[in-house]
Amino acid sequence: MLRGVHTLLTSIWVVRRKKVCSVAAGSALLRDEELVKRILDAVVNAVPVPVTLKIRTGWDKQNKNAVTIAQLAEQAGIAALTVHGRTRACKFEGHAEHETVTLIKQTVNIPVIANGDITSPEIARQVLQDTGADAIMIGRAARGNPWLFQQIAHLLATGTTLPPPKSDSVKSVLLQHLEELYRFYGDLTAVRIARKHIAWYLAQAFKQPNTCLALINQAETPAEQIGRVLYAFDSLTNL
């Protein structure tokens, strides 16, 4: 498995999402190809592990330079490249495009991973077919839905679709996820972090607005939170 050091181009993104443009980090760096080259060379030469890179398609729609950056990445010794099919200026608006990945695949030989708005097994298969990408990366669609990966693998392997998970499976995985959150973050922080995850899992299980969420969000302890989650599953399953 590639043990990627997610380079400055992406890792600063999380911590300083609002600041990446003012400090020329994150996707803002795409504007300065020479600096990208220097950073990639420096990182690849500084560490003994494979370095992977994740980029957007360019600065804005008029300045899509992902193909050039991909070439620089390959020359620098980057082990694999992920491309989110939006420009920096697109933020998260509109739909991701994957034509840029097709172009990159025709230009470089390192593994290329397509990313952006891949939300179902069918879309995953289409993107892989259309682009020739070596893999796909999924972000938001996996929130509360870890079953998505298995569903994609199944479609790719068999051409048939797996049924959605039963609410009992969703409940059991959610409870396990909650226990891990409490263990990792400690009760106080975990209860707060867990709220968004609970909402995503419930949306996955019930495909409808959840009237129990307000009550769940007021829980202050793991025991309260779990009790209210169980109540939500019981009451919604018995509708």
Ligand X SMILES: Cc1cc2nc3c(=O)[nH]c(=O)nc-3n(C[C@H](O)[C@H](O)[C@H](O)COP(=O)(O)O)c2cc1C
Residues that bind ligand X (CB under 6 A): 10, 13-14, 54, 84, 115-118, 138-141
Contact criterion met (CB below 8 Å) for 57 and 87: yes
Q: Beta strand 135-137 with 52-56: parallel, antiparallel or unpaired?
A: unpaired
Distance CA 77, CA 41 (A): 8
- Residue 19 or residue 140: which is nearer to ligand X going by CB? 140
Residue nearest to ligand X (CB): 139
Residue that the structure tokens 């909650």 belong to: 178
Which is closer to ligand X, CB of 88 or CB of 228? 88
Distance CA 173, CA 179 (A): 10
Residue 137 or residue 236: which is nearer to ligand X going by CB? 137
Minimum Å distance from CB 54 to ligand X? Answer: 4
Our CB check for ligand X shows the closer of 29 and 232 to be 29
Least distance CB 238 / ligand X (angstroms): 33
Minimum distance, C-beta of residue 118 to ligand X, in the bound complex (Å) = 6
**Torsion angle of C-alpha atoms 171, 174, 179, 180, degrees rounded to 10:** 150
Q: How far is the CB of 117 from ligand X (least distance, A)?
A: 5
For residue 76, give Cα distances in angstroms to 79, 113, 175: 9, 18, 44
Could you give phi then psi for residue 104, rounded to 5 degrees?
Answer: -65, -40
Question: Nearer to ligand X by C-beta: 140 or 166?
Answer: 140
